[in-house]
Amino acid sequence: MKKSLVAVALLGAFAGVAHAQTAVQIYGTVDAGVVKRTDQTVAIGKRAANTLGFKGTEDLGNGLKALFQLEIRYEPDTGTVENNTRPLFQGQSRVGLQGDFGMVRLGRGLTPFQEVVGSFEPFHGLPTPAGFYTDISVAGFNSAPLDSGANAAGSGANTNRISNAIFYNSPVTSGFQVNASWATKEAVSNGTAITGIGAGSTSYAAGAQASANPFSVAATYNNGPAAAMLAYERNAVESKVWSGAGSFAVNDNLKLMATYSHQNLEHTNTLRPEIRAWLVGATYGMGPGKFLAGYGQKHQENTAKTKQLSLGYEYNLSKRTYLYVDAARKKNIVNAITGNLATTPTVNHYDVGVNHSF
């Protein structure tokens, strides 16, 4: 009996030590609203990505920590996995170590370019069509064109994350930080074929292996009211993009920002390889609310210029909950495959909803 009591006491002590050294957090976002777009009926949709995540750290001693993060993305109106074709842990699934050397992680996640460029557009890098991140900030660049669900133009189920990768984040020194990633050439099952456009272009069969190791590098600077970034990335089919951006907080209420991105598709599209995009934007806080505004253009070589104007407003009910309303107009939308104007070349987008984080 005494031995049993001692064993129970020891187990309790060890459990206490483990609990003290390990921290696990459950977090997420629930965003839902009413959305109306040109030529589409009113629908329940979203402004931000809906997430459910688990992340944690374990203190290994001597300044070294083990860490992990798993993140599910889902649709708010049906409760299904995002887009029905994406992985369970679409958001990310990474494990690694952190110390004086910085942070090293392995698995799946946003590329460094995709992770930082959204900070320099007024809609916070959210995937909403009212914002600029998905199409203008990244010039429509696809970081994972061979992933399951991609279409012939190389876009589709996933555009900003890579799998089978190693990620590195340097320590922050005087406001500067360097982030990099490198991925293997592993083929992604059920990937859709990519048909090259123009003489001398390269095509990829369904499930084809990458022709190059994808990599991405981004340098950032944050110091007081000023922030800036430079980034370069090459994907699995050898498309390339480079981007520069900056922002400046004029005062506690007003923040200005601008982004320029240049994409080169010459490996798979010799007819229209160059895509250039830029945007300017601002946010202005007034009491519990914030106004968002921006204007941007994207121009694929030998096609019309796509132009976008967006306005938004957020009202904070608390630190974790806010209401929002957006309105955007995009003109001269181009079909990336044919180079012609899309069937509906001008689209108006409106949304109103609520966002809660936990």
pLDDT band for position 272 (cuts 50, 70, 90): very high
pLDDT band for position 18 (cuts 50, 70, 90): very low
Q: Region 232-256: what's the mean pLDDT?
A: 97
Is the confidence at residue 66, as pLDDT, over 90? yes
pLDDT, one tens digit per residue, over 195-232 is: 999 999 999 988 888 999 999 999 999 999 999 999 99
Is the confidence at residue 300, as pLDDT, over 50? yes
pLDDT, one tens digit per residue, over 87-121 is: 889 899 999 999 999 999 999 999 999 999 999 99
Is the confidence at residue 14, as pLDDT, over 60? no
Domain boundaries, the chain: 101-357
Least confident range from 47-51, 110-114, 125-129, 183-187: namely 183-187
CATH number of 101-357: 2.40.160.10
Closest to 91 measured CA to CA, from 160, 149, 139: 160
pLDDT for the residue numbered 208: 86
* Strand residue runs (E) in 141-300: 161-169, 176-183, 215-223, 226-234, 240-249, 254-264, 274-286, 289-300
DSSP bridge partners of 56: 24, 68
Contact in structure between 137 and 125 (CB atoms under 8 Å): yes
Average per-residue pLDDT for the chain = 90
Q: What is the largest CA-CA distance in the chain?
A: 85
pLDDT, one tens digit per residue, over 122-170 is: 999 999 999 999 999 999 999 999 886 544 444 445 789 999 999 999 9
Cβ neighbours of residue 275 closer than 8 Å, sequence gap 6 or more? 139, 140, 141, 262, 263, 264, 265, 298, 299, 300, 301
Is the confidence at residue 16, as pLDDT, over 70? no
pLDDT for the residue numbered 176: 98
